[in-house]
Structure 1
C-alpha cells in the first residue's frame, strides 16, 4: 500500500542545498507557468473587450496553459522533478516518492511563484485585474468539486504513468508534453464551469492579488483529493511492490 511508504523526513532537509535548489526550480517554473497562463487570459480580455469567456477564449486558455506547462515541467524536471503543482507534489508524497518536509518546501515555493507572477502581471499591465478562479452561473460548489477531483485525477494519473512509474522507459521523454496536453484538454472540458484549475497554486496567486476568496476551498480540496486517488490507484494496481523504488528527485 502507498500509505506504508509515506515518509515524513526531517527538518534538516530544509537546509540541504539540493532541496533548496529544487524549491527554487519550482518557484521559477511556477512563475513561468502562471505568468504565461494568467497573462494570456489578461491579454485576450484586453484584445476582445473581456471575451475570455467565449469559446475562442477557452481554446486560447487551453493552448496557452498546455504550452506553458510543457515548458515549465521541462525546465524543472532535472532539478526538482518539475511538479509545478502542489497537487502533483501531494500525489508524489502519497505514493512515497517525496518526503513531507520536502513537499512543504515545494508548496511554499509554488505558492510564492504564483503570487509573484500575478504581482508582476498587475504591474506590467498597468494595474489590470488578475482574475481569480470562480464558478460559472448555475454551477454549485459541489459540481465544481467533482470537476476538480476528476480533472486532477487525470492529470496526476498521467504524471504517474509517464514520469513516476519505474517501468516507463522511453515514455518518460514525452512526460512534459503529455502533462501539458492533459491540462489543456481538461481546460476545454471544465473551463466553462469552474475555470479548470487542477492546481491550488494557480488559483492561489490570482486570489491573493485580487483578494477574491469565494469558493476558493474548492480549488484546494478537489485537486488534493483527485491527486491522492490517482496516486493510490496507480501505486496499488500498476506499481507492484517488487518494482517499486524510491525515485531520486532528479528523476521525478
Structure 2
C-alpha cells in the first residue's frame, strides 16, 4: 500500500539546497500561473464590463488557465516536479513520492506565490479586485465539494499517469500538455458552479488579497480529498507494489 511508504523526512531537508531550489521553482511557477489565470479574468471583466461570468468568459478562463499551467508545469518539471498545486503535492505525499517536510516547503512556496501574484495584479491594475472563488447561486457547499473532489481526482490521476508512473516511458512534453488540458476542460465543466479551483493555492491568493473567505474551506477539502483518492487508486491498481520506484528528489 502507498500509505506504508509515507515518510516524514529529516530536519536537514528544510535547509538542503535542492529542497530550497525546488521550493523557489514552485514559487515562481505559481506566480506565473496565478498572474496569467487570475489576470485573464480581470482583463475580460475590464473589456466586457464584468462579463467574466458569461459563456465567453468561461471559455477565455479555460484557455488562459490551460496555457498558463502548461508553461508553469514545464518550468518546474526538472527542478521540483512542477506540482504548482498543493493538492498535487498532497497526492504525491500520499503515494510516498515526496516527504512531509519537503511537501510543506512546497505548500509554503505555492501559497506565497499565489498571494504575491494577486498583489502584483492589484498593483499593476491600479487597485482592481482580485475576486475570490465563490459558489454560484443555487450551488450548495457540499455540491461544490463534490465538484472539487471529482475535478481534482481527474487532475491528480492525470499527473500520476503521465508523470509519476514508472512505466510511463519518456513522455517529455506530453505531461505538462495533458495536465493543462484537464484543468482547462474541468473549468468548462465546473466553472459556472463553483469557479473550478482544483488548487487550494489558486483560491488562497485571491481570498487573502480581497480578504473574502466565504466557503473557502470548500476549496481545500474538495481538492485534497480528490487528490488523495486519485493517488491511492492509481498507485494501488496500476503501479502496484512490485513496480513502484521512489522518484528522485529532483522530481516529486
TM-score tier after normalising by the smaller chain length: over 0.9
Quote the Cα distance in structure 2 between the aligned partners of 1:65 and 1:16.
Answer: 32
Contact 1:163–1:172 (CA under 8 A) maintained in structure 2: no
Residue matched to 1:243 = 243
Give how far 1:172 is off: 4.5
Residue matched to 1:160 = 160
Gaps in structure 1 of 5+ consecutive residues: none
Matched ranges for 1:186-201 at <5 A: 186-201=186-201
Q: Does 1:175 align with 2:180?
A: no
Residue matched to 1:36 = 36
Quote the Cα distance in structure 2 between the aligned partners of 1:232 and 1:47.
Answer: 44
Contact 1:133–1:203 (CA under 8 A) maintained in structure 2: yes
3-state secondary structure, aligned to 1:196: coil
Which whole-Å deviations, capped at 9, do the CAs of 1:27-63 have from their partners, x for residues lacking one? 0000000000000000000000000000000000000
Residue matched to 1:77 = 77
3-state secondary structure, aligned to 2:171: helix
Contact 2:62–2:187 (CA under 8 A) maintained in structure 1: yes
Matched ranges for 1:1-252 at <5 A: 1-252=1-252
CA-based RMSD: 0.7
Stretch of structure 1 that moved more, 154-163 or 171-180: 171-180
How many equivalent residue pairs? Answer: 252
Give how far 1:204 is off: 0.1
TM-score, reference length from structure 1: 0.99
Quote the Cα distance in structure 1 between the aligned partners of 2:48 and 2:249.
Answer: 43
Stretch of structure 1 that moved more, 236-245 or 145-154: 236-245
Quote the Cα distance in structure 2 between the aligned partners of 1:138 and 1:168.
Answer: 42
Q: Identify if the C-alpha distance between structure 1 residues 231 and 172 changes in structure 2 by more than 3 Å, giving closer, same or farther.
A: farther
Quote the Cα distance in structure 2 between the aligned partners of 1:231 and 1:208.
Answer: 29
Quote the Cα distance in structure 2 between the aligned partners of 1:10 and 1:143.
Answer: 39
3-state secondary structure, aligned to 2:243: coil
Quote the Cα distance in structure 2 between the aligned partners of 1:244 and 1:135.
Answer: 39
Gaps in structure 2 of 5+ consecutive residues: none
TM-score, reference length from structure 2: 0.99
- List structure 1 runs of 4+ shifted beyond 2 angstroms: 170-173, 249-252
Contact 1:162–1:172 (CA under 8 A) maintained in structure 2: no
Give how far 1:170 is off: 2.6
Give how far 1:173 is off: 3.3
3-state secondary structure, aligned to 1:97: coil
